[in-house]
Amino acid sequence: MKEFASSTLELMILLPGMLLAYLPMKQYLRLSPAKLAAMTIPLTILLCLAGGGISCLFPIKTLWLFFPIAGLLGLFYIHTLKITRWKSISVFLAICGVFSCLGSVAVGFSGVLSPGEPAPPLSLFASLLWLLLCCAFLAASWYPTTHATRRLLEEKAFAQTWYVFWALPLLFIGLNFSMIPKNPTILNLGRLRPLYILLGFVLLFLLLLFYALFYLMASSLNRNDRLRRENQFLSMQQARYDNLRTSIAQTREARHDMRHHFHVLQGLAVQKEWDSLINYLLEAQESLPDAELGLCENAVVDSVASHYGLLYRKYDIPFTFQLDLPRKLPIPEIDLCLVLSNLLENALEASKKTTPDRRRITMQAYLRAGHMVLLTVENAFDGEVQEKDGIFQSSKRRGEGVGLSSVRHIAEKNGGYSRFLYENGVFCANIILRSDG
């Protein structure tokens, strides 16, 4: 009975591990938190009890049962999340790496807590100590996990970094398991036990240090990406300003010339030279500057839309913009402009690859209920849309597409909505942006 309790307590550290793994995934859950808890907790306890029974019935060390049980819980964890598998696997392995370091500390204390007990690496009290250490780490990391880690998962600028991050915790898991002594009594020789305990804490410190460095590196990449997008937005504003200044200058010239046109027209009318009058009117009409788009009252949104409208004209892409937005918006203008620029940029790239007779871009945006902006962008496309596990893949490089992922994140961060449909050669993006309040 004591052996069964010890084995079960060893495996029970998976319960705080699963809780810690779900903390940063609140907005990526496929099930409600209540339903997920009702499934995860009984499943974890059942597997731990089964593992404890197997360890008692067969000559199998409990530590080796972690691999199949953690593997089953890992598969369950991955399939309950709406996030890329690289991120979910990395988070799960990161927690396993930390708990393995705490396990090494518990192995070192096992002989101290139960000096008379032979055999397994962990005694009953050492197993309890390991569980308490894991629960203490869960409590200590609650805030950084629900804030820093969650922000890290939301960012899209460094998606490829997740492809290699999993190797770091896996390396530390291997180190901790490989240094478990086959004969635990050997730790009683000389100063081996204090050194073993110290080594466990050193490995834990190094692993957490690597996690902190990874977070700082990722934050720097995200900050640079945000600056790049803001610079892109400013460049569009500058282009809009230059176009507006050119238009004002052309309008001044046209108004100045209009006075002379009236004198000439009056003279031709008095002389009844009707053919010359008609030809002169046609020439004067061609010399007038093109009108500005003037899409909506909000100058910032109008700037972005006008910028892409001029690009569409440059590439002979027919477009229709309907923007019914007030001067003051209930949502951050930078969010709406980033969504607009990403969608309109994707529409431009897709239209360039489409035959001229099928090119068409339509955009609608209007205010609903005073606190929501509804946005729809449609464009024709040729070829295939690459989608994997609900995540759109980039057409320019391998991996997740940054543009639509950024749109989805901005739309859903305040309880908004995003939906992307594609059929019969038409791609449609439906976005709802909500105010912070």
pLDDT of residue 397: 45
Integer Cα distance of 147 and 159 in angstroms:
19
**How large is the angle between the packed helices 62-79 and 2-11, nearest 10 degrees?**
40
Integer Cα distance of 130 and 144 in angstroms:
22
Whole-structure pTM value = 0.62
Residue 343 has pLDDT above 80, yes or no: yes
pLDDT of residue 291: 46
Measured CA to CA in angstroms, residue 245 lies from 238, 281, 290, 301 at distances of 10, 27, 13, 18
Closest CA to 350 of 312, 316, 314, 379: 379
pLDDT digits 0-9 by tens, 203-238? 999 999 999 998 888 888 778 877 877 777 677 667
CA-derived radius of gyration, the chain: 32
Residue 320 has pLDDT above 60, yes or no: yes
Which DSSP symbol is given to 184?
A: G
| Domains located in the chain, CATH noted | 2-230 (no CATH), 293-437 (3.30.565.10)
Which DSSP symbol is given to 272?
A: T
Integer Cα distance of 305 and 318 in angstroms:
14
pLDDT of residue 224: 82
Q: 17-21, 59-63, 258-262, 273-277 — which one is most confidently predicted on average?
A: 17-21
pLDDT of residue 424: 84
Which residues are bridge partners to 391 per DSSP? Answer: 388
pLDDT digits 0-9 by tens, 416-430? 888 888 888 899 999
Integer Cα distance of 293 and 307 in angstroms:
10
Phi, psi of 291 (to 5 degrees): -75, 150
| Burial bucket for residue 426 (CB in 10 Å: 0-12, 13-18, 19+) | middle
Give the chain's mean pLDDT.
82
Cβ–Cβ < 8 Å for 12, 131: yes
Residue 158 has pLDDT above 70, yes or no: no
